[in-house]
Structure 1
């Protein structure tokens, strides 16, 4: 299992044990993390699973590309560190990952 911390807009930290091979979004939904709506169920077609990757983790997670980058145009408060959590696969290299939930989502 890989440990992921979600930080709410109010600063609350929600730590989960995420199953390797699933997306960050799938793990968040399985553990009822608020703010990860994921209306499309992970098809990269809604941007309601948008997160801001903590700066310390941006290199490990990588940048959005292609369809994900295009879909982020529909999200609010997009930053250089923005990713759709449905497109980030959980792996042991991401153990300790911290992502921030944008205000106004969910």
Structure 2
């Protein structure tokens, strides 16, 4: 279980306990966290689950693979070095906490 903090563009925060094996996107969509659309359901074809990873406690998620890196070029808000697709951020055993900031827009 990891503690995921979602920071909205206005600074408000939602904190979820997310089980191992669940993606940051799936947890947000299930709990109704605004700002993550996930139009494609996590198949990495829409880039509407874009987040900025601000803090990691414990084992860091793997770096983006080539497919994710390419999809990050199609986000609604310009990508940054800390940009990730939340459908590709799966909670692993070694992750203790993660803070992700949501962009102003996903579409």
Q: Identify the residue that residue 21 of structure 1 maps to in structure 2.
A: 21
User: TM-score, length-normalised on structure 1?
Assistant: 0.90
Q: Identify the residue that residue 41 of structure 2 maps to in structure 1.
A: 41
SS at match of 1:57: strand
**Quick check: which one's helix share is greater?**
1
**Quick check: which one's strand share is greater?**
2
Structure 2, unmatched stretches of 5+, are none
Q: Identify the residue that residue 77 of structure 1 maps to in structure 2.
A: 78
Correspondence 1:66-105 to 2 at 5 A: 66-75=66-75, 76-105=77-106
Structure 1, unmatched stretches of 5+, are none
User: TM-score, length-normalised on structure 2?
Assistant: 0.89
| Alignment: residue pair count | 105
State the 1:50 CA deviation.
0.3
Q: Identify the residue that residue 4 of structure 1 maps to in structure 2.
A: 4
SS at match of 1:99: strand
